[in-house]
Amino acid sequence: MFHSRQIFLTLATLLVAVPAFGADWHWQLPPERYKQMNTFERAQYDKAAHLLETNQPAAASSEFEKFKAQFGDSPVLSYSLFMRGYCMHQAKNRNAAIKAYQEVVDYFPEQVQDAAAALYFEGVANFEDGEITKGIRCMKKLLDSPLYKTNPLAAGALRRIADAYWEQKQPDQAVQYWRQAVKEFRHVNDQEYTAALSGLAAYCIVSKDYAIWENSALEDDTAKADPARRRAAADFMWNRGWSMYRSGFERVKPVTPKELAAEQKAFYEYLASTKDWWVKAKDLNGYYYRMFNVLVYDYKDKATRDKLLDEAIAFERQEKDKTLADQQIAQICDILRAGRFEDRARLCVAAMTDRVAAAYKEHEILYDEAKYKEALATLEQVEASSNPEWQTKAMNARANIYKNGLGQYDKAIAIYEKIGQPPGTLWQIQECYKRWGKLDQALKALTRARCGTRPLITRKPATRSGRWPMPIAY
C-alpha cells in the first residue's frame, strides 16, 4: 500500500545514490578539534554546549563569552567566537549575532571552518532581518572564496541565494543557483541538496520546463538509464507538485485559472511520460496511485481519468495474487470515492474478486452518498460471511452508521456492547451517550474505559513511621 506523502530526503537519497549525511554541517565541535583543548577548556566548552543542547541559547552565549575571556590563546578561540554569535542568533538577538560573525571573518579568516560558518550565518541573519541584498552579498562572498566554497554550508548559500532571487521575482537567477546547488553539492550536503532540488522542481512545474528537471535531477547517462533513479526522480516531482497544490506556493506572478489548468495538464503529462520507468522498476501500482491522485485533485480530465481506470483495472486483473490485486483496486477506489466520483469507484468494486471485500467497499460509497439504509443492507452481506474479522469490521461499520449517520444511539450502543472489545468500544459507547444527552451513562462508560486502560494501583503497607506513600497523581 502507498501513502499520500513521501519524505523528500528519502527520494533524494535514491537520486544521489551515495551514503547520506556524512558531510552535513553541525555546530558541535568536531572530535579532532575537541582533542586540541586542555581539560579546563573542555569543561567550559561542555558547559556552554550543554546549555545550547537544552535550548538555553542566551545562557550558552554567556558561557562562550567566558571561554573567550579565560582562554585567549586557545586553538579553538575562533570557534568560541563563532558559537557566541550562533547562540545569540538562536536567541533571536540577530544584530549582536551579526557583529560576532563579522569579528570571526575579520580576525580569523584563515580558520576556514569557523569563518565560512560565520559568513554563512551572517547571511542567514540578514535574510531573516529582511536585508536581502546584504544576505546575498554574504553568501556570494562565501562562494567566491577558494577556501570557503568547499565547505558543506556552501550548498546552503547557493540554495538561499536562489530562494532570495525567487522571492524578489527573479526566476532566471533563482533557477541558475538552484541548478548549481544540485550539481555541485549532490554528494556533499544532502539536506541542502534536497532543498535546492525542491525549489528547482517547483520552478519546472510553474514554467512547464521538465527538460531542466531531467538534466538536473539525473546527473549523467548512467542515472538516466537506471529505472530506480528515474522512478525516484518522477516520485520527487510528484511529491513536489502534490505539496504545491495542497499547501500553496509563492509564485513569481499570479496565475489565472486557465494558466493553472495548463500547468496542471503539463504536470500530468510529464508524470505520464515516466510510466515506462515505473514498469521497469516493477512499481506500476505506485504509478497508478500517483496518477489517479493527480487526476482526481488537479488535472480533472474525465476522458483521461476513465481511460487510465480501464487500463489500471485490466492490469490488476492480470495479477496472479488476487488478494493483492483487490487491495490495489480498493486503493484506487478510495481515491475516486474521496473525489466523489462514485460511478468510477463502483467500477472498481465490480472488478474486485473477493465479493465480501467488494461489498464492504460498496457500503463505503453508499455511506458517502448518505444512503445509510442501503449501506446497512450491504453490510449484512459482509456480516454474514464466515470470516470473523470481516464480521467484526461490518459490525463496527453498522454501529458507526447508527451513531454518526442516523443518530440512533441505542442501536449503536447495542452493537458496541455485542462487539465487546474494550477499551475501544467503551469509548464509542460513552460518545453515543454524550451525544444522546445521557451524561450519567456517558460518565459510567468513560469510567469503565479509563479503568480498562490503566493498571490497578495497589497501596503499599504503612511504613514504621505510620505514613503512607505519596498519592499517585493523574
Query: What average pLDDT does range 305-316 have in this prediction?
Result: 97
Task: Determine the Cα angle at 407 with ends 403 and 413, to 5°.
Answer: 45
Q: Which of these, 448, 397, 386, lies nearest to 423 by C-alpha position?
A: 448
Number of neighbours of residue 337 by Cβ within 10 angstroms:
23
Provide the whole-model pTM. 0.79
pLDDT at 379 over 60: yes
Rounded-to-integer distance, Cα 168 and Cα 131, Å = 12
Q: pLDDT band for position 5 (50/70/90)?
A: very low
Residue 24 has what pLDDT? 65
Q: Is the pLDDT of residue 466 over 70?
A: no
Are residues 300 and 290 in contact, defined by beta-carbon separation less than 8 angstroms? no
Quick check: helix, strand or coil at residue 250? coil
Task: Record the cell numbers describing residue 385, joined without a space.
Answer: 460471511
pLDDT at 144: 94
Locus of grid cell 441505542:
410
Mean pLDDT of 264-272: 98
pLDDT at 205 over 50: yes
9-16 average pLDDT score:
49
Integer distance in angstroms from the first to the last C-alpha of the chain? 39
Q: Position of cell 463496527?
A: 396
Mean pLDDT of 366-394: 96
The predicted model gives 68-86 an average pLDDT of 96
Mean pLDDT value across residues 364-379:
97
Element (H, E) at 140: helix 132-144
User: Which range, of 98-107, 392-401, 457-466, averages the lowest pLDDT?
Assistant: 457-466
**Block residue for cell numbers 475501544:** 424
The answer to whether the beta carbons of residues 67 and 74 sit under 8 Å apart is yes
What is residue 15's predicted lDDT score, i.e. its pLDDT? 56
Select the more confidently predicted residue: 461 or 131: 131
What's the whole-number average pLDDT of the chain?
Answer: 89
- Give the angle 363-353-304 at the CA atoms, nearest 5°: 75
Question: Domain boundaries in the chain?
Answer: 407-454
Average pLDDT over residues 284-305: 97
